[in-house]
């Protein structure tokens, strides 16, 4: 658990997901309402968003998805996911997804702290390559560049924003430094689809 400027970051367990789904749903609905390209078209109700989060329970339980939440007091104000590669030749990599911070809780460095939590966990788990993508020109893109991520390129019209307009997406990678580690085997149950499909790339809005 990490804390900065009043915000606390915690790893979310599958058992804790039902209690957190409402707050996560409200956070996701806020991001879509603010124009973030995170896989949903507007309008997105908090109830529908909460149901999407609840669908991640099997993936959280088998370790193919790891989720962190950020809190100000008891209020959930941010989240990020790490989606681990499960193919036999891809257990060295993972994808960072759904980095979100509520609009009225930004400016405290919460997004950077969430991103660092995901990167540190991936490093300790033996993941040496991280990938992510986000809407080109967004605040999230600026965050990733400043956090040492390397842009691979931009694909025009890759995903629609919440209003349905196709926007370009920038893909990033980051090689994790430090002592060499052997990649861990794919988590148990990784052969099945671990989570609901993501219809659009996981851009987030940084703090």
Residue 3 has what pLDDT?
57
In a domain, 65, yes or no: yes
In a domain, 152, yes or no: no
The total domain count for the chain is 1
User: How far apart are the C-alpha atoms of 49 and 3, rounded to whole Å?
Assistant: 27
In a domain, 52, yes or no: yes
The answer to whether 53 and 38 are in contact (CB under 8 A) is: no
Portion of the chain with pLDDT greater than 70, in percent: 83
The pTM of the full predicted model, rounded to 2 decimals, is 0.84
Biggest distance spanned by C-alpha atoms of the chain? 46
CATH number at residue 110: 3.40.630.30
Model pLDDT for residues 165-205, shown as the tens digit of each residue: 999 999 999 999 865 444 444 444 443 333 344 344 344 44
In a domain, 56, yes or no: yes
Full residue range of the structural domain in which residue 123 is found: 2-130
In a domain, 81, yes or no: yes
User: How far apart are the C-alpha atoms of 188 and 61, rounded to whole Å?
Assistant: 9
Provide the terminal-to-terminal Cα distance of the chain, rounded to the nearest Å.
Answer: 19
């Amino acid at each position: 658990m990490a804390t900065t400027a009043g915000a606390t970051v915690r790893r979310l367990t599958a058992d804790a997901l039902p209690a957190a789904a409402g707050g996560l749903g409200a956070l996701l609905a806020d991001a879509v309402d603010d124009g973030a390209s995170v896989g949903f078209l507007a309008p997105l109700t908090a109830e529908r968003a909460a149901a999407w989060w609840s669908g991640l329970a099997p993936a959280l339980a088998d370790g193919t998805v790891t989720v962190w939440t950020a809190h100000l007091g008891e209020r959930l104000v941010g989240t990020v996911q790490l989606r681990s590669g499960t193919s036999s030749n891809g257990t060295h990599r993972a994808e960072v997804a759904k980095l979100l911070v509520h609009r009225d809780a930004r400016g405290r460095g919460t997004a950077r702290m969430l991103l660092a939590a995901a990167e540190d966990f991936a490093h300790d788990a033996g993941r040496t390559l991280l990938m992510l993508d986000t809407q080109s020109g967004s605040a999230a893109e600026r965050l990733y560049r400043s956090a040492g991520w390397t842009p691979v390129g931009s694909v025009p019209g890759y995903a629609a924003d919440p209003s349905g307009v196709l926007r370009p997406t920038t893909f990033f990678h980051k090689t994790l430094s430090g002592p060499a580690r052997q990649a861990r085997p794919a988590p148990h149950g990784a052969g099945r689809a671990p989570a609901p499909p993501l219809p659009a790339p996981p851009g987030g809005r940084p703090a």
